Structure 1
Amino acid sequence: MRQIDPDFLALPLRRLADAALQRAQDLGAEHADFRLERIRGESLSLYDSRLEGAVDADDLGFAVRVVKNDTWGFAAGIELTAESAARVAEQAVRVAEVSAPINREPVALAPEPVHRDAVWVSSYEIDPFDVPSAEKVALLAEWSGELLKGADHVTARLLQVKEQKFYADTAGTVTTQQRVRLHPSLNVMKATDTGFDDMSTIAPPVGRGYEYLTGTGWDWAAELAELPELLAEKLAAPSVEAGAHDLVIHPSNLWLTIHESIGHATELDRALGYEAAYAGTSFATFDKLNELVYGSPVLNVTGDRTVEHGLATVGFDDEGVAGQSFDIVRDGILTGYQLDRRMALMKGFGRSNGCGFADSPGHTPIQRMANVSLRPAEAGPSTEELISRVEHGLYIVGDKSWSIDQQRYNFQFTGERAYRIVDGALAGQVRDFAYTGTTTDFWGSMEAVGGPQTYVLGGAFNCGKGQPGQVAPVSHGCPSALFRGVRVLNTVQEGGK
């Protein structure tokens, strides 16, 4: 049975929380919460089988957030004593008092059931921090050595995080959590007489343990065996023919389009205009709820903080709200947003759906993305069946570069590789491709989604938002999907104009 590390539980969690919350209440706070975090991260990077960099970081501290005079106050500290916790609470209250005269919007939080002494641990088998770094480096070096037999250069990287959180608030909620995530990636590079290019693995980052590298959840041997050959084929491939194409998009590419055009667009703080300085607001404004035709009737999107192995999966968010699954788009219509407690109450939702998150003990929670996923069709087609429906088009695999405007509406995406589809069959790779469109036109062109057998949970460690900037991990699941008449650019021709 997975358990929270004893050394974290040995910290004076309750004593610090009690001291901070009591002091905040004594000073008149209407609400107070205490959050103590330990975040350990390890990064290993290799170039051509040789270790190039290794970082092992450990961030430990606590934060106190209060509401006083209908105004937020926040402060953080690192000295783990009851006296320090009380002082930090005093600082948070003082921030609220100083800010209250200029606060134009009273702060109130949506109610949440009290969760007493709740414990949650993410789903993993082997804690990566229990595995010696030398063993991890040896595995990456072995993989790199095999890839070098068919490539000029190889980079390998392994990112690992263990996040431990203790939360308590004046309502009586007390939660303790531990989650593990990791992201292995390898990239091969090769030059020929016709040019230079590279290609990366499409294995997604996951909320799993070290077992992910040894065969649980991904066939590393199969992907690595074919990667140099796929790159060689890409180097010899012709340039794409620009124009309208039918597209079959693999989950390894489509997850990023979901992230940028649906995930960010349906964060309620963006839709209301609060999040504007960092990558803009959203075209999916609040007045369009239950009316906006986001896409075709086969577009069904959920936000989920509970899916197994999701990077944004938690037992409870950083406001003490239990993880939930909820609709965002149903049958092509915008039906929901991602919420924190304040905005849930402000806009009449009654309860938050658990999207408050802070990336460190030194930051206050802000509204962050759940695992936003496109649902597959029950008994739906395979990827091969979707391809068979296309006379002239492209099959796109893997994410590469992307661009989207400040309102999450006009976009352009590339991929690791694309294959021509001719009369329902793959006909070799093409290069220099990008697909472009508006969010509603693109999702409106989606004719079919694949079945559960095509579904993959992709994602990223590094979703950025907020000022000061915060980084959050998030997953996006989706099946393969078929789109009709999408505009495809030839990036060499477009770049030369």
Structure 2
Amino acid sequence: MPRTIDESFLALPLRQLADAALARARALGAEHADFRLERVRSANWLLRDARPAGAADRTETGFAVRVVHGGAWGFAAGVDMTMDAAARVASQAVEMAKLSARIIAAAGSDERVELAPEPSHGERTWVSPYEVNPFGVPEEERIGRLADWSARLLAGEGVSHVDARLWAVQENKFYADTAGTVTTQQRVRVLPELTATSIAPDGGRFDTMRTLAPPAARGWEYLTGTGWDWDGELDRIPGLLAGKMAAPSVEAGPYDLVIAPSNLWLTIHESIGHATELDRALGYEAAYAGTSFATFDRLGSLKYGSEVMNVTGDRTAEHGLATTGYDDDGVETQVWDLVRDGVLVGYQTDRRTAALKGFERSNGCAFADSPAHVPLQRMANVSLRPDPEGPGTDGLISRVERGIFIEGNGSWSIDMQRYNFQFTGQRFFRIENGELAGQLRDVAYQATTTDFWGAMEAVGGPGTYVLGGSFMCGKAQPGQTAAVSHGCPSALFRQINVLNTTQEAGR
């Protein structure tokens, strides 16, 4: 069945509102104007020990007008779906641009907003790849699925409690600009997650084990077997949790690490994804979590990692959380290289940052998380590419005499330049003489970004590649959140410093 835009969204006066806003912006002398109307529905269902513990279902609808006038940005937003309101909001955006231009001039700056060129795409429609909209599934079926999974885990020996949640989002967006691009898009994404807790009989110790299934731009079919082996994962968790409870604490020191995609995606996000956002590299995004060590003067020369390191920015990846047809600058989305053979060769850009450094075109990274927020340069699906002829995860493990295999993401810490970091995980296994030899606890790995990626000796083959990610990447002030995926294979790193988290906490 072909995927279509929600009829209730199409029933809104999308084109009429856009025409009214853009006509007013043109009449007031805007050099560029765009109109964006969004409806974002976000819902959560929570269960505790197979019983409902909470639910929320929120929809935000509104529109925004953004202009370039007199070489400055102007932005305004509204919720009244009338032509007069759309024109009034456009006027407010122009007034905001005029005020911004005066402030810039008073500061002694002659900087003007320029946008990288982008052809008009005419009228386009794009819908993310899903089969069953989760919002069309009956409530009892959604809760029932989570309750059944929870009950299966609770029946496992040593499992004391189970928390389950499902987060679903449907994002509808209509965009039109003065260059003639008009896009109507719909994205659906889901995040199912279960966490089992074991408490020692004496009550003095506990630990948790979380499912590894990543969030995905899929529909309800993701929870019924498409894209993830839920039965296999739920069967494994009680035994893994029991092994984690009995595992010894790690001895700190240097280890070879084999890191699974379920953990490595977050390291990619923090040390590559944010570091290669051009606004950070140029110092334009400094207040929220810092800038970047990968400054523009190092483009083409920075040795980011070993020669097996190849990283792409991708706004088109199937089921990617940052995947869309067109961004909030009206740019058709693309795939491009960020790191090639270990060398920094690209950045993530929007039309403004691309023009600042003379790029011919943006690579489509503008996004706003709400109709009330201005578009920002946001992260693409930044992914480490597999070796087309690379080994499986077992093959990587077989190369290690003494090391640790890591699965699942945990806590993390990284400095403001995305350079010094520390990451934990969910599951840790000793590697002895090329084989797994039981679980460990309290593991964290620490390095600088270039040392870590420079120590990557091998990446796995396509069969080890998994698209991980997060619903909650934060940026900007006022803060915005965006969903983003990061694909990667399993990878082998030599002699990485491992810390014992309990010892570090006690210092």
Answering whether residue 178 of structure 2 is matched by residue 170 of structure 1, we say yes
**DSSP-derived class of the 1:308 partner:** coil
1:333-344 correspondence runs (5 A): 333-344=343-354
Deviation at 1:323, TM superposition (A): 0.8
Match of 1:77 in 2: 78
Match of 1:330 among 324, 333, 340: 340
Residue 303 of structure 1 aligns to which amino acid in structure 2?
A: G
1:14-413 correspondence runs (5 A): 14-103=15-104, 104=109, 105-150=111-156, 151-192=159-200, 193=202, 195-413=205-423
Distance 1:270 1:433 in 2: 30
Q: Deviations over 1:375-422 (max 9, x none)?
A: 000121000000000000000000011000000000000000100000
Distance 1:15 1:211 in 2: 36
Match of 2:431 among 415, 421, 432: 421
**DSSP-derived class of the 1:307 partner:** coil
Distance 1:494 1:369 in 2: 32
Residue 141 of structure 2 aligns to which amino acid in structure 1?
A: E
Deviation at 1:152, TM superposition (A): 0.5
**DSSP-derived class of the 1:93 partner:** helix
- Structure 1 runs (4+) deviating above 4 angstroms are none
**DSSP-derived class of the 1:434 partner:** strand
Distance 2:504 2:322 in 1: 37
Distance 1:237 1:84 in 2: 63
Distance 1:68 1:303 in 2: 31
Match of 1:488 in 2: 498
Distance 1:98 1:411 in 2: 41
Distance 1:126 1:326 in 2: 31
Deviation at 1:4, TM superposition (A): 0.5
Deviation at 1:492, TM superposition (A): 1.4
- How many aligned residue pairs are there? 497
**DSSP-derived class of the 1:120 partner:** strand
**DSSP-derived class of the 1:360 partner:** coil
Distance 1:261 1:351 in 2: 25
Of 291-300 and 103-112, deviating more is: 103-112
Identity %: 68
Q: What 5-or-longer segments of structure 2 have no aligned partner?
A: none
Distance 2:501 2:477 in 1: 34
Residue 198 of structure 2 aligns to which amino acid in structure 1?
A: K
Of 438-447 and 95-104, deviating more is: 95-104
Deviation at 1:6, TM superposition (A): 1.2
Residue 275 of structure 1 aligns to which amino acid in structure 2?
A: E
**DSSP-derived class of the 2:452 partner:** helix
Distance 1:284 1:132 in 2: 48
Q: Deviations over 1:76-126 (max 9, x none)?
A: 000001000000000000000111112232101111011111010010000
Distance 1:226 1:381 in 2: 24
TM-score (norm 1): 0.99
**DSSP-derived class of the 2:236 partner:** helix
Distance 1:269 1:343 in 2: 6
Match of 1:460 in 2: 470
Distance 1:323 1:313 in 2: 8
**DSSP-derived class of the 1:85 partner:** helix
Residue 406 of structure 2 aligns to which amino acid in structure 1?
A: I
Residue 117 of structure 2 aligns to which amino acid in structure 1?
A: P
Distance 1:303 1:253 in 2: 19
**DSSP-derived class of the 2:240 partner:** helix
TM-score (norm 2): 0.97
Residue 126 of structure 1 aligns to which amino acid in structure 2?
A: V
Distance 1:108 1:372 in 2: 26
**DSSP-derived class of the 2:88 partner:** helix
Match of 1:433 among 434, 437, 443: 443
Residue 147 of structure 1 aligns to which amino acid in structure 2?
A: L
Deviation at 1:494, TM superposition (A): 1.9
Distance 1:115 1:43 in 2: 36
Q: Deviations over 1:312-363 (max 9, x none)?
A: 0000000100010000000000000000001101101110000000000000
User: What's the RMSD between the two structures over aligned residues?
Assistant: 0.7
Distance 1:77 1:102 in 2: 24
Match of 1:448 in 2: 458
Distance 2:43 2:102 in 1: 44
Q: Deviations over 1:150-196 (max 9, x none)?
A: 21010000000000100000000100100100000000001114621
Match of 2:7 in 1: 6
